[in-house]
Amino acid sequence: MNAAHAGRAFRAILWRELLRFVQQRERFFAALVRPLVWLLVFAAGFRATLGLSIIPPYETYITYDVYVVPGLIGLIQLFNGMQNSLSMVYDREMGSMRVLLSTPLPRGYLLVARMLSGTAVSIIQVYAFLAIAALCGTELPPSGLLPLLPVLVLTGLTLSALGMFLSSRIRQLENFAGVMNFLIFPMFFMSSALYPLWRVRESSLLLYELCRFNPFTYIVELVRSTLYLQFNATALAVVVGTLLVFGAAALIGYTPARGGPAAGRGGG
């Protein structure tokens, strides 16, 4: 594989993913509406009832809608990762995964290109969401928006790797609803996305421990600290570790030695 070939292939995979995103207008609006509902409806209700003390990285009292934004950024990327997973299962059933994986490029490169393309789509969604949130009056630190970009690449890749791993295990599109129920929602709710962990500990120690072992918590905290220009080494280490684990699992999942889910089983 030479660099020119790798570059062309990556641009093609990215172009196809972006085109698919633009063509599926419902997907674009759903990706925006979902976090906005949380922000404009859920957070508005909680704003009056939930008091937040000053906790890092915040240096002053904040309103609930400000607190919940990093969690909703995580939610956007989590759903996008699952959307990627769904689209990979679909591609596999439609056969286009076979076309991709039988091209003369290393399998690992193709899968990473696919994950990066999905991540790029999620980053567009995140910044569109942040723009609308700001227009709706949620105060966010403008200086944190640019440093957030590399972090979003990292967190997006981590959740894409999770999605890709899942797609290697899910045999049929119909099984996807189960993943939604048993993975996405517990990951989101059992994290610091909606409530600070000290609040969770006050109500349930068990739930607190579950939140601490949930990698999504660290994704949210990494986004939160970066937005406020603070370095959270623990969150960064956990997110990188999670990326490596799920990335390796996805690569193993798509290895031809085990038949490879992309190959399917022929009838002839």
Partner 1 sequence: MDAAPTQDASNRDAADQPAVPVLRVTGLSYAYGKTKALDDVSLELSSGRVTALLGPNGAGKTTLFSLITGLFDSRQGAIEIASHAIRRARSKALAQLGIVFQAQTLDLDLSVEQNLRYFAALRGLPGGTAQQRIAALLEEIGLTEKAKAKVRTLSGGQRRRVEVARALLDRPALLLLDEPSTGLDISTRRWLVEHIHRIAREDGIAILMATHLVDEVMPEDDLLVLNKGRIVARGPVEQVIRHSGGADLDEAFTRLTAKGEAPS
Name which position in 45, 56, 95, 108 contacts partner 1 (CB under 8 A). 95
5 binds partner 1 (CB under 8 A): yes
101 binds partner 1 (CB under 8 A): yes
268 binds partner 1 (CB under 8 A): yes
15 binds partner 1 (CB under 8 A): yes
Name which of residues 201 to 230 contact partner 1 (CB under 8 A): none
Stretch that binds partner 1, among 11-19, 33-41, 227-235, 245-253 (CB under 8 A): 11-19
19 binds partner 1 (CB under 8 A): yes
263 binds partner 1 (CB under 8 A): yes
Query: Residue 95's Cα: distance from chain center in Å?
Result: 25
Name which position in 46, 66, 102, 190 contacts partner 1 (CB under 8 A). 102
171 binds partner 1 (CB under 8 A): no
Smallest gap, in angstroms, from Cβ of residue 11 to partner 1? Answer: 7
Residue whose CB is less far from partner 1, 249 or 263: 263
Give the largest Cα separation in the chain, rounded: 67
Name which position in 66, 72, 73, 100 contacts partner 1 (CB under 8 A). 100
b/e sequence 143-163, b meaning 16+ C-beta within 10 Å: ebbeebeebbebbbbbbbbbb
> Which residues, at least 6 apart from 234, have a Cβ–Cβ distance to it below 8 Å?
218
Name which position in 53, 103, 204, 230 contacts partner 1 (CB under 8 A). 103
142 binds partner 1 (CB under 8 A): no
User: What is the 3-class SS of the chain, one letter each residue?
Assistant: CCHHHHHHHHHHHHHHHHHHHHHCHHHHHHHHHHHHHHHHHHHHHHHHHCCCCCCCCCCCCCCHHHHHHHHHHHHHHHHHHHHHHHHHHHHHHHCHHHHHHCCCCCHHHHHHHHHHHHHHHHHHHHHHHHHHHHHCCCCCCHHHHHHHHHHHHHHHHHHHHHHHHHHHHCCCHHHHHHHHHHHHHHHHHCCCCCCCHHHHHHHCHHHHHHHHCCHHHHHHHHHHHHHCCCCCHHHHHHHHHHHHHHHHHHHHHCCHHHCCCCCCCCCC
Name which position in 33, 94, 229, 237 contacts partner 1 (CB under 8 A). 94
Name which position in 30, 33, 37, 99 contacts partner 1 (CB under 8 A). 99
Q: Return the structure tokens found at 56.
A: 């890092």
Name which of residues 29 to 88 contact partner 1 (CB under 8 A): none
105 binds partner 1 (CB under 8 A): yes
Residue whose CB is less far from partner 1, 131 or 173: 173
Residue whose CB is less far from partner 1, 9 or 200: 9
Q: Which residues bind partner 1 (CB under 8 A)?
A: 1-2, 4-5, 8-9, 11-13, 15-16, 19-20, 23, 94-96, 98-106, 255-257, 259-260, 262-263, 265-268
